[in-house]
A and B are shown apart, each in its own frame.
Chain A
Amino acid sequence: MTAMVRAEQVCKSFGALEVLKGIMLEVQTGEVLVLVGPSGSGKSTFLRCINHLERVDAGRLYVDGELVGYRERGGRLHELTPKDAARQRRDVGMVFQHFNLFPHRTALENISEAPIHVKGVKRDTAVTQARELLDQVGLSAKADAYPAQLSGGQQQRVAIARALAMQPKLMLFDEPTSALDPELVGEVLAVMKRLASAGMTMVVVTHEMGFAREVADQIVFMDGGVIVESGAPHEVMTNPKHERTKAFLSKVM
Chain B
Amino acid sequence: MTHTDAPRSPQTSAASIDAIPLRHPWRWVGAGAILVLAALFVYGAATNPAYGWPTYLKYLFDERVSQAAWNTLQLTIYSMAIGLGLGVILAVMRLSPNPVFGAVAWVYLWIFRGTPVYVQLVFWGLFPSIYQNIRLGVPFGPTFFQLNLQGMSIAFVLAFVGLGLNEAAYMAEIIRAGISSVPEGQTEASTALGMSWWMTMRRTILPQAMRVIIPPTGNELISMLKTTSLVTAVPYTLELYTRTRDISAVIFQPIPLLLVAATWYLVITSVLMVGQFYLERYFSRGASRKLTAKQLDALARAQLGEGHL
Contact = CB atoms under 8 A, between A and B. Distances in A.
Interface of A: 51, 53, 82-83, 86-87, 89-90, 92-94, 96, 98, 100-106, 113-114, 117-119, 138-139, 141, 144-149, 162-163, 166
A96 B195 contact: no
Given A83-B196, A104-B207, A148-B287, A53 B1 contact: no
A176 B3 CA distance: 21
B186 interface: yes
A95 to B, nearest CB: 9
Given A86-B196, A94-B192, 12 more contacts: A51-B192, A82-B196, A86-B191, A94-B189, A100-B189, A104-B283, A105-B286, A114-B195, A118-B193, A148-B286, A149-B291, A163-B193
Contact of A104 (B183, B191, B285): B285
Contacts of A87: 194
A177 B288 CA distance: 23
Interface string B295-309: 100100010000001
A98 B186 CA distance: 10
A239 to B, nearest CB: 36
B199 interface: yes
B194 A89 contact: yes
Nearest to B189: A100
A99 to B, nearest CB: 8
Nearest to B291: A149
Contacts of B237: none
Contact of A148 (B204, B288, B298): B288
Interface residues of B, number: 31
Interface string B255-268: 00000000000000
8 contacts: A83-B196, A102-B186, A105-B286, A141-B5, A144-B298, A146-B286, A147-B286, A149-B295
B295 A145 contact: yes
Mostly helix, strand, loop or mixed at chain A's interface? mixed
The list of the 5 closest CB pairs from A to B, nearest first, reads A90-B194, A100-B189, A146-B286, A100-B185, A114-B193
Contact of A89 (B191, B208, B287): B191
Interface string B48-80: 000000000000000000000000000000000
Nearest to A94: B192
Contacts of B207: 104
A148 B203 contact: no
Contact of B194 (A86, A96, A139): A86
Nearest to A48: B188
Nearest to B185: A100
Contacts of A113: 193, 203
A166 B190 CA distance: 12
Nearest to B202: A117
B110 interface: no
A191 B194 CA distance: 23
Among B192, B203, B285, the one with the most A-chain Cβ atoms within 10 Å of its Cβ is B192
Interface in B180-216: 183, 185-186, 188-189, 191-197, 199, 203-204, 207-208
Contacts of A51: 192
A101 B207 CA distance: 14
B193 A166 contact: yes
Contacts of A101: 189
B193 A162 contact: yes
A114 B194 contact: yes
Contacts of A119: 194
A148 B289 contact: yes
B188 A96 contact: yes
Nearest to B196: A86
Contacts of A139: 3
A89 B183 CA distance: 21
Contacts of A94: 189, 192
Contact of B186 (A92, A100, A149): A100
Nearest to B200: A86
Among A100, A139, A147, the one with the most B-chain Cβ atoms within 10 Å of its Cβ is A100
A81 to B, nearest CB: 10
Nearest to A115: B193
A156 to B, nearest CB: 12
A17 to B, nearest CB: 19
B245 to A, nearest CB: 46
Contacts of A145: 295
B194 A118 contact: yes
A83 B197 CA distance: 9
A139 B2 CA distance: 9
Contacts of B196: 82-83, 86
B265 to A, nearest CB: 34
